[in-house]
Amino acid sequence: MIPAFRYACCMLMAVLAVQLSFAQVQGNLISQAEYEMSRGRVTAAIDLLNAAIERRPGVKRAYLIRGIAKYQLNDMVGAEADLNVAIEANPRNHEAYLYRAESRFATQRFNEGLADLEFAMKIDSTDIRLYTSMAVANMRLDKSDQVISTCDN
């Protein structure tokens, strides 16, 4: 009985160790991708995020970061697709709405982008990037009264 129990304990510990190391690798890929982006190496970051998603598609943070990276590379369709996944996973992530709005502005879909920004402002009204983006979008649409209103907030 003791050897069987010891064997079961060893197997359980081995399984837990494998799961822990998998989670560490996953986290390291995402952290490394964030580091690469901070250094301006966006393509390298996307490669790391692709690997993270391939290993574990359920890691939604990777989609947010990859969406931002694709936006930085002017891949607006890819950015929006990844940001949609990030929003679906966490509908309270104002940053995902901000970058989706920016990608929509870049593809001349201003009303959709403005709706994203308005929703993001309801989530986090302290992020100055939201107000800046809203003011720029309203200037592009020749809505000077809205630009002033946005800046007054």
Six-digit token pair at 80?
A: 């929006």
Q: What is the pLDDT of residue 38?
A: 93
Residue 48 to residue 131: CA distance in whole angstroms: 32
Q: What is the pLDDT of residue 48?
A: 95
How much is the average pLDDT of 131-147?
Answer: 79
Residue 86 to residue 80: CA distance in whole angstroms: 10
Neighbouring CB atoms inside 10 A of 13's CB total 10
pLDDT grade for 146, boundaries at 50, 70 and 90: low
For 87-125, write each residue's pLDDT tens digit: 999 999 999 999 999 999 999 999 999 999 999 999 999
Residue 120 to residue 52: CA distance in whole angstroms: 27
pLDDT over 90 (residue 56): no
Burial class (CB in 10 A: 0-12, 13-18, 19+), 145: exposed
Q: Which residues contact 82 (CB under 8 A, 6 or more apart)?
A: 63, 64, 66, 67, 70
Does the model's pTM come out above 0.85?
Answer: no
Residue in 129, 113, 125, 50 with CA at minimum distance from that of residue 80: 113
